[in-house]
Amino acid sequence: MEVLLTMLPLLFSNLFSSSAITAAQENGRLQTLYIPAPATGPESIAFDRIRGGPYIGVSDGHILKWEGGRDGGWTVFAAPAQRQDLPAFINSQSLFREIESILKVNIHEQFCRWEGCSSSSINLESLCGRPLGLQFNKVTGELYIADAYFGLLGVGPEGGAAQQLAMEANGVPFSFTNGVDVDEQTGIVYFTDSSIHFQRCDQMASDLRPKTVAKANLIEKPQNHHKEYQMLVASGDATGRLMKYDPASREVTVLLAGLTFPNGIALSDDQSFALVASTTDCKVSRYWLKGPKAGEFELFAELPGYPDNIKRNDKGEFWVGINREKIRLDGSLVSAGVAPAAIKLSGDGRVLEVLDARIMSPLSEVLETNGTFWLGSVDLPFLGVLFK
């Protein structure tokens, strides 16, 4: 496909280059809204029905809302209700008390301020939650959250404790809830579960790993987000699902099963189809919800890298975040040159625009609204704001 426009060819010497960010800021086109430390990784972005926000989900499980201003503008909007009892759980565990005495750290106070999957031997992310997809129902004001560990969550317009709406379908628990979108006409919520075997960070669930991956020793125990990506991709796991949740009946329906790493999801502006990112296959597929092709699943676009989230803009076009370039099992890149960080697709799958990875990478999501691009990343400690 022909690339019609390449944006902002700025030098980006490495994935976390502060010089590139500074150059973009001096150019007046990029701002960085840093997340309160030690939280990081604002993967998904959403605005509420009165265009308040943005709202983001970060590595400690919180949903944050931007209230304006350059410093101190983030406030906590919501958190998973499932972690409300965790202090009591932690206090009751002799292992945690022993670790506290050795490290001289109060886990009771710190467990929900953890940065994510790292070299830590304690998987606090799976206890605190990790929101990967956000979408408001602009009619009701409810925010829906795809949390990697707690499943599909929902919270009202005033925020607070996000309640668990669904954690299994057809008797099979969710393992890696990932993307979410809402049909505002019907209220139906569409979401993905990337695998029934893999969790986003499965340091404490190694027994769930397919034995072929362990025997092949493709990748060792994950120490960060990218290694977990590689493990899931290299395994060829095809147990992901596309599902819908009906708030009226509270029922979950499996629309598609046997998918390879389904990730982000976005509905078309007329709600006739849903686009689903397949990270393993480096492609976007279309699932028809209405019309003569309802129920059919077809290729929509091939991509030059591993896609993450998908967001539709006000024109009915789709931005696909490209989290990483294509890699071989040995870790080498499939193609040389500057990779795109995101690609905008038309309603029929044509490439309309490309965001150069040299401006900000890795990207998980691009939300375009009113001439402004909000750039989310599962790894970076800030939300990018790009002015076109």
DSSP assignment, residue 48?
-
| 197-240 pLDDT, tens digit each | 888 875 333 333 333 333 222 222 333 455 555 677 778 899 99
Residue by residue, DSSP assigns 61-115 as S-EEEE-SSSSS-EEEEEEEGGGTTHHHHHHT-HHHHHHHHHHT--HHHHTTS--
121 inside domain: yes
What average pLDDT does this structure show over 87-105?
52
Q: Is 355 left (phi over 0), alpha (psi -120 to 50) or beta?
A: beta
> How many domains is the chain partitioned into structurally?
1
Rounded CA-CA distance 143/182 in Å is 10
Higher per-residue confidence, 200 vs 47: 47
What are the backbone angles phi and psi of residue 312, rounded to the nearest 5°? -90, 140
> 64 and 78 in contact (C-beta within 8 Å)?
no
Residue 126's pLDDT is: 81
Report the distance separating Cα 284 and Cα 275, nearest Å. 6
The pLDDT tens digits for 295-352 are 999 999 999 999 999 999 999 999 999 988 876 555 555 555 567 899 999 999 999 9
Residue 82 lies in a domain: yes
Is 305 part of any domain?
yes
DSSP bridge partners of 372: 369, 387
Q: Is residue 144 part of a domain?
A: yes
pLDDT tens, position by position, 302-316? 999 999 999 999 999
Mean pLDDT of 62-75: 83
Cα-based angle 91, 148, 276 (whole degrees, multiple of 5)? 175
- Give a yes or no: residue 71 inside a domain: yes
Question: In this structure, are residues 278 and 301 in contact, taking their beta carbons and an 8 Å threshold?
Answer: no
In what helix (H) or strand (E) does residue 288 lie, and over which residues does it extend?
Answer: strand 283-288
At 259-288, the pLDDT tens digits run 999 999 999 999 999 999 999 999 999 999
Neighbours of 69 (CB within 10 A): 9
Comparing C-alpha atoms, which of 65, 9, 67, 47 is closest to residue 338? 9
Q: Are 196 and 224 in contact (CB under 8 A)?
A: no
Predicted confidence (pLDDT) per residue in 106-128, tens digit: 544 454 443 333 333 335 778 88
pLDDT of residue 113: 45
For residue 128, the enclosing domain spans 41-319+335-340
The closest alpha carbon to 275, from 239, 244, 238, 312, belongs to 312
* pLDDT category of residue 375 using cuts at 50, 70 and 90: very high
- Distance from first CA to last CA of the chain, Å, rounded? 23
Q: What are phi and psi of 377, to 5 degrees?
A: -145, 135
pTM over 0.85: no
Half-sphere exposure of 95 (CA within 13 A, CB side): 4
Q: Quick check: 64 pLDDT over 90?
A: yes
Most confident of 62-71, 81-90, 219-228, 317-326: 317-326
Residue 357: inside a domain: no
Report the CATH number that the domain containing residue 212 is assigned in CATH.
2.120.10.30
SS3 state of residue 234: helix
Q: Is residue 78 part of a domain?
A: yes
Per-residue pLDDT band for 77 (boundaries 50, 70, 90) equals very high
Torsion sign across C-alpha atoms 208, 145, 170, 259: negative
